[in-house]
Every structure is written in C-alpha cells, then in structure tokens.
Amino acid sequence: MKKHFLVSAIFAAAISICAAVPMSAQNGGSAAPIPQLPFHLVDNFFHYPAHSVVGRMSGIAVAPSGNILALNRGYHPVLEFKSDGTFVGSWGEGSEMFVGAHSLRFDPQGNLWYVDAADDIIYRFDSEGRTVGTLGTNPEPWTWLTHVIQNAAPGRASFYQETDIGWAKDGSMYVSDGYGNSRVAKFDKDGNFVKAWGERGNQPGDFNTPHSLVVDNNDVVYVADRGNSRIQVFDTDGNRKAVWNLPTAPWALCLTNGPSQVMFVGSVGRVYKMDLSGKILGMFGRPGRMPGTLESIHGIACPDEKAVYLANLYASRIDKWVAQ
C-alpha cells in the first residue's frame, strides 16, 4: 500500500508539472502579466537542532497559540517552533504512520489534524498530542485471512490516499480524496459519512488529484484540482459555484484569518495571492531548491496577508516569507 502511495504521488506530480503553462498565461481572462508581490525570505528563521535529518517537508500549520508545526517524511516527523522560529521539540519518531505524511491542519476549535495518505487515515489530536478521533480506515492484511474478503470494494467512508481536510461552521468536515480517488467526501461533526462528489476527469466537477482543500468564513469550499491546473469552488452540498483556471498547477491552499479573507496558492516555484472571486492579485518566487527560491510548495500557512510559511517538498526545507 505504501509503495503504491509513493508511485501514485510521483505520477500525480508529473501530471501537474506537465499541465503547467507559461507564467504570462491568463489572469482572470486577461493576458496582462501577473503583478509581482514584494515578498522576501526571512533568512534562517527556523532554528531546529543542528545536524537534524529531515525528510520531504509536506505540511505546515500555525496553531492558535502562534506556534508553528511542520510535517516531514523523515526521522523527526513533526517539528514545533515558537512564533519567533525558536525550536520547541519534535514528535512521531519511530512511527510508521508518517511514511505518507501529507498535511497538517488546525480546525476552528484549535484541534490538530494529521492527514496520512499512505494509510488512508486522518487523525485528530488533543492539546497534549493524544489521538482522540480518526476518519478513514487503513487496510490490515492479516484480517483478510479471517473475516474480510480480500480486495473487496471499500466503503464510501474509506479514503484512497486522501490529501487534506477543511471544516464548515456547523462542524461538518470536507476531505480531498485524493491520489487514488478523485472526489470530495463530506462528514458530519461526529465523523459520520454524509456524501461525496466528483470523479476522475477534466470536466467541470471532475478532479485529477484534488490535492488541497480550504473552507472560507461563508462555508464556501475551495479544492486545488492539481492535475487540471485549476481551483474548483463548491457550496457545502457539492454544488459547483466556479472553476478558476490557473497558470500553473495548485499544490497547496491557505486562507487568511479575519473577516476579509484572501487566498494564497502554493505551486511549483511560485506562490499566488488571490481574492475570493478568483482574481489573481499577484505572485512571488522563482524556481529552485536553494534558499531564496521556491520548490514544490506542498504546504502553506498564511495567518495574515503579510506573512506566509512554506513547506518546500523536495527541497526538504521550511521558509517564512514576509511582505516588505
């Protein structure tokens, strides 16, 4: 299963990169160049211990306390920092549940959720890091010898390499699912499956690797349809509201806090800033794997419009960028 996850992830990444079009392509239906945003890297912001061996950085999230959590597929899966970049600690060492470490999110109540794409499970943790709830079910081969039919079709509540999660005001949960499936799954606040929508394809309402998902203050659901280089917009029942075609494939989405939200979109080598009508307000970044450049932005956090935190997947690096 985990080997299959890695193969699927590589294949999906190749599709998304091939789907990218030049930077001078459409911006909301116009051929005008996208404005450059005055963001710059904060040098050496994160101070985790010297000689730490980290893996691919896949997720990043800012807690209500202001602490920053970063997720990676290495020996120290979850790294925690204070708001000034001071290292707090790490956890998850020795656990196989981080082989498919995909994303971290804090829900509106401040609970931490971890999306494990390899084992098809999303975990909810309490303030002390204890597991207090899950969505999805991981395959357990030993049960096939006893009471489960091998290779039987999974239930609708099961994931197939899911990627992200978001929440509506009533506590409903929305999961982008994901690499294996191409759909959005909705659960109620108690974790009961409600419905799902979407299938693999390129028509409106279809998905090709729904890779990230956020829900705004008005309960509008935004899905990064990475393989189709677009963001699709839905209401909470799955009715399509809009399709936003982008110059390059969207990998990660975040929404700012407060009443007037904007969206930041992580892509390959650049980050876009958008309003919630789908207009691209600007962009920053240039491709590369060294400090000051941007790689595949697999995770992004944006507590406000002046600061963004980036997880550069293949560069194994986390950054803070701020507006001048």
Q: Which CATH number belongs to the domain containing residue 44 in this structure?
A: 2.120.10.30
**pLDDT (tens digit per residue) in 40-76:** 999 999 999 999 989 999 999 999 999 999 999 999 9
Q: Which two tokens stand for residue 234?
A: 């839905």
**pLDDT (tens digit per residue) in 126-158:** 988 899 999 998 877 666 566 666 666 678 999
Q: Is residue 27 part of a domain?
A: no
pLDDT of residue 324: 85
Taking a C-beta distance cutoff of 8 angstroms, is the pair 209, 223 a contact?
Answer: no
pTM (2 d.p.): 0.89
pLDDT of residue 238: 98
Q: Is residue 25 part of a domain?
A: no
186 vs 170: CA distance, rounded Å: 12
Q: Is residue 202 part of a domain?
A: yes
pLDDT of residue 217: 97
Q: Which residue range is the domain that position 285 belongs to?
A: 2-20+32-323
Q: Is residue 213 part of a domain?
A: yes
B/e letters for 79-114, b = 16+ CB within 10 Å, e = fewer, are bbbeeeeeeeebebeeeebbbbbbbbbbeeeebbbb
Least confidently predicted of 7-11, 148-152, 166-170, 208-212: 7-11
Report which residue type is found at 204: P
**What total number of domains does the chain contain?**
1
Q: Is residue 26 part of a domain?
A: no
Is pLDDT at 18 greater than 80 in this prediction?
no
Q: Is residue 285 part of a domain?
A: yes
Which is it for the CA torsion 131, 133, 135, 136, positive or negative?
Answer: positive
